[in-house]
């Protein structure tokens, strides 16, 4: 006898009822990969636009890390030991690559599909649910951020800016960072009403890029600003990347990993629930 997936069915296992309480019927159809496949097919012809964003951090590295770095003897690394300015800036730009690739895909592109193309309305006429859409779009943003990060890591390796075998974990860490930023970006997009609201995205991303110890160590900021900086997501991403690429690894880095795992989970849940309330109600 086949059991029905009904939480009210007292003969069903307790685990089934728990799943239905966490993921209500219609929210998830197990087809998130379909949306990733669609995004890959759509971007196949516009591949230059897809990879073009990877060049921005490389230009920053060449102009600041190598150009301006000629005037800076050394900078204090994560363990207080002096490192070259290029080796200090490169991991930060790696973290910024993961952030930019994920955020811009999960905001501008998702908003267009949601408000103008009405793509998600059509998808919900299929067995896909809002959680499939959220996970599919976040996964594609993760892949884009991972692509930018992999390219930048290759540039760092070619320039001799990787000082430790721990850098092998930098790409998985970049994927986690991209996942978290993509999830938060998509969740924020569900609250936006028009293109003018995207000024708020720039208002959040640009200061993080400039002040989250990307180009200067934390010690140069006044005390109150240091406290603000240490709460920003990009700061945690940069600390994680610097520790891995420079070989300064400790148990404290697990705190950065947990930070992004929680951020990714919260962003995914909020995005899925917001999509469900906006598209299904």
Distances (CA, A) of 213 to 224, 228, 234, 235: 15, 12, 9, 7
pTM higher than the cut 0.85:
no
- Answer for the pair 115, 19: CB distance below 8 angstroms, yes or no: no
- pLDDT per residue as tens digits for the range 178-234: 999 999 999 999 998 888 888 888 889 999 998 899 988 898 889 888 999 999 999
- How far is 172 from 198, CA to CA, in rounded Å? 29
Query: For strand 75-76 and strand 82-83, is the pairing parallel, antiparallel, or unpaired?
Result: antiparallel
Q: Is 35 helix (H, G, I), strand (E, B) or coil?
A: helix
- pLDDT per residue as tens digits for the range 99-150: 988 888 888 888 888 888 888 888 888 778 888 888 888 888 888 888 888 8
> Binning pLDDT at 50, 70 and 90, where does residue 1 land?
very low
> Binning pLDDT at 50, 70 and 90, where does residue 175 land?
very high
Q: How many other C-beta atoms can be found within 10 angstroms of the C-beta atom of residue 207? A: 14
> Binning pLDDT at 50, 70 and 90, where does residue 250 land?
confident
Burial of 29 (0-12, 13-18, 19+ CB in 10 A): middle
- Answer for the pair 170, 68: CB distance below 8 angstroms, yes or no: no
| Long-range contact set of residues 199-208: C-beta below 8 Å, sequence gap at least 24 | 201/103, 201/107, 205/99, 205/100, 205/103, 208/99, 208/232, 208/233, 208/234, 208/235
Distances (CA, A) of 101 to 63, 116, 184, 196: 21, 22, 13, 21
Q: What is the CA radius of gyration of the chain?
A: 21
- How far is 268 from 32, CA to CA, in rounded Å? 13
- How far is 190 from 269, CA to CA, in rounded Å? 12
The single residue listed with the structure tokens 């307790």 is 14
- pLDDT per residue as tens digits for the range 5-41: 344 443 434 433 433 344 444 555 567 788 888 888 8
Beta bridge partners of 76: 82
């Amino acid at each position: 006898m086949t059991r029905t997936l009904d939480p009210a069915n007292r003969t069903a296992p307790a685990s089934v009822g728990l799943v239905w309480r966490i993921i209500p019927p219609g929210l998830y159809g197990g087809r998130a990969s379909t949306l990733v496949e669609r995004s890959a097919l759509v971007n196949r012809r516009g591949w230059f636009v897809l990879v073009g964003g990877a060049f921005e951090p490389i230009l920053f590295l060449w102009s600041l890390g190598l150009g301006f770095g000629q005037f800076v003897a050394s900078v204090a690394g994560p363990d207080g030991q002096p490192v070259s300015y290029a080796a200090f800036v490169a991991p930060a730009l790696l973290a910024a690559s993961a952030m930019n690739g994920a955020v811009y895909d999960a905001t501008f592109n998702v908003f267009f599909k949601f408000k103008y193309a009405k793509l998600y309305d059509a998808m919900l006429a299929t067995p896909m649910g809002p959680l499939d859409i959220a996970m599919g779009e976040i996964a594609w943003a993760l892949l884009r951020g991972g692509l930018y990060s992999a390219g930048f890591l290759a540039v760092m390796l070619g320039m001799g800016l990787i000082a430790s075998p721990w850098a092998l974990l930098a790409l998985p860490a970049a994927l986690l960072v991209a996942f978290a930023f993509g999830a938060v970006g998509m969740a924020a997009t569900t609250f936006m009403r028009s293109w003018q609201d995207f000024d708020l995205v720039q208002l959040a991303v640009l200061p993080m890029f400039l002040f989250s110890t990307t180009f200067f160590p934390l010690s140069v900021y006044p005390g109150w600003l240091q406290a603000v900086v240490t709460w920003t997501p990009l700061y945690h991403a940069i600390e994680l990347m610097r520790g891995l690429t420079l070989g300064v690894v400790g148990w404290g880095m697990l705190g950065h990993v947990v930070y992004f795992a929680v951020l990714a989970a919260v962003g995914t849940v909020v995005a899925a629930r917001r999509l469900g309330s906006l598209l299904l109600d």
